């Protein structure tokens, strides 16, 4: 049964800034999105990789691509529909191009967890104290009950496709696990990895670059 990786790379990267959207900025001379594509293409359990990009950026990515939408949710939907139109898949890993480093063990854990669930996501505990925000901060929120959700997120393909189709237009979702849950399915967690943290703000890429250089010494 085949497993497809779907990389979403159609965002504008407004918070990170720069001359080109963050997913096309270079980490060790290679664009972020290409790091992710290679990681999936090199995994023995993954048969194909599809990248969702803005129509104007289609020439900037290697391999198969499809046009993205106005929001991340719409970009994922476009990718899922493209996979469905070409025969579907058994499983799909949905991933942010803004997370360039994908440990093989994470993919292994996610696919193993999918044996007993329709969805699996990597999560990490929250390290900082959490409060309600504001000029004067508000109450502390008990972080021991919370988790940070990363990508890749692994799904039974038919279930996540149906969940996306059932999602109300006009409402947004920042990841796909919440879309699967809304459709009534359980999503299980596996232990995430700090290497999967997202490039979001100016400076995140420089930190990733420093980490990459340190790992090569
Ligand atoms: N994404 C997408 N299509 C969109 C919006 C986001 O494919 N319309 C992708 C981004 O390219 C990124 C991932 O979703 O790989 C996670 O989104 P985020 O980190 O928010 O990226 P951007 O939306 O590009 O950044 P920002 O919100 O700062 O503008
Ligand atoms: Mg965004």
- pLDDT score for 190: 98
Q: How far apart are CA 187 and CA 184, in angstroms?
A: 10
Measure 86 CA to ligand 2 centroid, in angstroms. Answer: 28
Domain that holds residue 64: 3-216
Displacement of CA 152 from its chain's centroid (Å): 5
What residues flank ligand 1, with Cβ below 6 Å? 8-16, 21, 23, 52, 68-72, 75, 96-98, 198, 200
Mean pLDDT, range 149-176, rounded to an integer: 97
Determine the Cα angle at 195 with ends 194 and 198, to 5°. 85
Mean pLDDT, range 147-153, rounded to an integer: 98
User: Domain holding 206: CATH number?
Assistant: 3.90.550.10
pLDDT 10s digits, 27-42: 999 999 999 999 999 9
- pLDDT score for 119: 98
Its pTM stands at 0.97
Q: How far apart are CA 4 and CA 27, in angstroms?
A: 24
pLDDT 10s digits, 196-214: 999 999 999 999 999 999 9
Give the ipTM. Answer: 0.99
- pLDDT score for 1: 62
Q: How far apart are CA 31 and CA 199, in angstroms?
A: 12
Question: Any idea which ligand is nearest the CA of 22?
Answer: 1
Q: How many domains does the chain have?
A: 1
Q: Which residues pair with 52 in a beta bridge?
A: 8, 66
């Amino acid at each position: 049964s085949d497993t497809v990786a779907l990389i979403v790379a159609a965002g504008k990267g407004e918070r990170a800034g720069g001359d080109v959207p963050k997913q096309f900025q270079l980490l060790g001379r290679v664009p972020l999105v290409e790091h992710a594509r290679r990681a999936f293409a090199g995994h023995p359990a993954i048969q194909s990789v599809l990248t969702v990009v803005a129509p104007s950026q289609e020439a900037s990515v290697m391999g198969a691509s499809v046009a993205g939408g106005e929001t991340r949710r719409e970009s994922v939907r476009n990718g899922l529909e493209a996979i469905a139109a070409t025969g579907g898949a058994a499983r799909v890993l949905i991933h942010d191009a803004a997370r360039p480093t994908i440990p093989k063990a994470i993919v292994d854990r996610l696919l193993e967890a999918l044996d007993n669930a329709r969805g699996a996501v990597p999560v990490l505990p929250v390290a900082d104290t959490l409060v309600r925000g504001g000029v004067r901060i508000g109450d502390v929120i008990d972080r021991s009950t919370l988790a940070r959700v990363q990508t890749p997120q692994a799904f039974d393909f038919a279930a996540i496709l149906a969940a996306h189709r059932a999602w109300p237009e006009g409402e947004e979702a920042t990841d796909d696990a919440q879309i699967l849950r809304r459709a009534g399915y359980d999503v299980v967690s596996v232990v995430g990895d700090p290497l999967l943290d997202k490039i979001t703000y100016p400076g995140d890429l420089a930190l990733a670059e420093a980490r990459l250089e340190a790992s090569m010494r």
